[in-house]
Amino acid sequence: MDINKTAKAIEDDAGEPIEGLRESLAEMKAGKFARKYTSEQLLLREARKVLKMSQPKFAALINTPVATVRDWEQGRFPPAGSAIVLCKVAIKNPDMLLSVS
């Protein structure tokens, strides 16, 4: 990736210079990412996506406070094993999980 060429294209599209853009692109090229996700976070998000549910609706479905679901998805603490299993069921067979609610 040509950092200057990419930055110029982005700035041309934005119509203005973007402070820190070249540095950010250099970090991206070097494989430095600020945010990392755990497999549990990705599993929870995928389950909600498959079920087409917001965090509050998903929390109600699994009888868990929405703040807990939010904390799981933001990586503040890992979900319980039972929540992980429910997410796997939701992904593989969403109708089955929805039928018990």
CB-CB contact of 44 with 87 (8 Å): yes
**pLDDT per position as a tens digit, 44-98:** 999 999 999 999 999 999 999 999 999 999 989 999 999 999 999 999 999 998 8
Task: State residue 72 phi and psi, 5-degree precision.
Answer: -60, -50
Domains and CATH numbers, the chain: 1-34 (no CATH), 39-99 (1.10.260)
In the prediction, which pLDDT does 100 show?
83
